[in-house]
Chain A
Amino acid sequence: MSASTSGTSAPAAASRKSLKAFSEDVWKNKTAKINAELFTLTYGSIVSQLCTDYERDFTRVNNQLYSMGYNIGVRLIEDFLARTALPRCDSLAKTSEVISKCAFKVFLNVTPQIGNWSSNKDSFSIFLEENPLSDFVELPMDAARELWYSNIVCGVLKGALEMVQMDCDVWFVSDVLKGDQLTEVRVKLNRILKDEIPAGED
């Protein structure tokens, strides 16, 4: 790698290349890989076990998946930061870009689209065109109305963003598993927890 530091723009760690190329490199050359089917099937067995354990009370399954995701997110953010060392995002637009192009790429190897910005730029949607969690899945009749199969993703995003001092609400709007056109995850920024930003940052 050349050590030339040209005019630094947005992500300083990737000042010489775009966030996309940087993420691609992190995913390709610096992250250990496993067969995605193993991951998909493991998640499937967790969800189906939860449905049995909660006697098909899908609201509780959704909540449980969300809290499991939260617990993953608060830890996964450290992995993400150690791996990429990206600087703090200065806007929600930047955050959305990092989530779609970098985080989803590194951990799930997909790059969802971002869109549907609210007028005051405090919420956006993530459109999961391909969702590796829900390969091979068909929801049973009784679950089709209530269960958000990939609800763990919402929890992960919520937990991870909270650790970088962004208090967000994350929820599913639609899911192809339920017969919708698109799988859409909505992220809404409530506030930035200014008091909790570690000392030493600008």
Chain B
Amino acid sequence: MAIQTILVINKSGGLVYQRDFSASAPRLSSNEYLVLAGTLQGVVAIASQITPKSLQITRKTGSKSGSDANHSSQLVPYVGALGSSAVPAQELGSFMGPDYFNEAFTSWNTTGLKHVTTDQNSLFLYQTLTGVKFVAVSSQSATSTMAVSIAENLLRKAYCLYVDYVMKNPFYEPEMPIKCELFDKRLGELVAQL
């Protein structure tokens, strides 16, 4: 899985960060990326509004077992050895130990858009509880459940980096474009290890 582009979209739908990692990534102007980010925000909102009838019915009856089963299916397995073993422990910012996390975690995005597959690319989307979206575009044309969970693991690590090098930067203003060199550098390392 080669990551071509990573985007970060703030909770109001504005693009705050965009970076290409491969030369084959499509060349879009920054304005076009802004439009893309806004569109994604809209699509996520619409996708969460339209649900198959059968799911709507199970949700309405609100059977306890149904919601539980739904919950466990939202559990993203931990994918270890995402290159992180190559990183010395002190390189993880405020995190400790061989990796940022080492357990399965719940996906906060339960009914929104999670991935898009096209002939040449796949797009993965990770949304946080606070509404920040992390988007990765990879150059593979087929997605499996495994690929999606790998992408979610990767994007959660990107979120960990965002927390350390963007949120803890006193000169970063919330909701504004990210211009943090350390974040750039660490994200580059993370993607390069893949």
**A positions within 8 Å CB-CB of B:** 1, 3, 5, 7-8, 12-15, 29-33, 74-79, 81-83, 85-88, 163-164, 196, 198-202
Contacts and interface: CB of A to CB of B under 8 A. Distances in A.
Interface residues of B, number: 49
B129 A31 contact: no
Contacts of A75: 167-168, 174
A171 B44 CA distance: 37
B148 interface: no
A82 B103 contact: no
A199 B131 CA distance: 8
B111 A202 contact: yes
18 contacts: A1-B102, A5-B75, A8-B72, A13-B105, A30-B97, A31-B96, A32-B92, A78-B128, A82-B159, A82-B160, A164-B130, A198-B112, A200-B109, A201-B48, A201-B108, A201-B109, A202-B70, A202-B110
A83 B105 CA distance: 10
Contact of A201 (B103, B111, B162): B111
A49 to B, nearest CB: 17
A87 to B, nearest CB: 5
Contacts of B38: none
Contacts of A201: 48, 108-112
Contacts of B94: 31-32, 79
A107 to B, nearest CB: 10
Nearest to A26: B101
A72 to B, nearest CB: 10
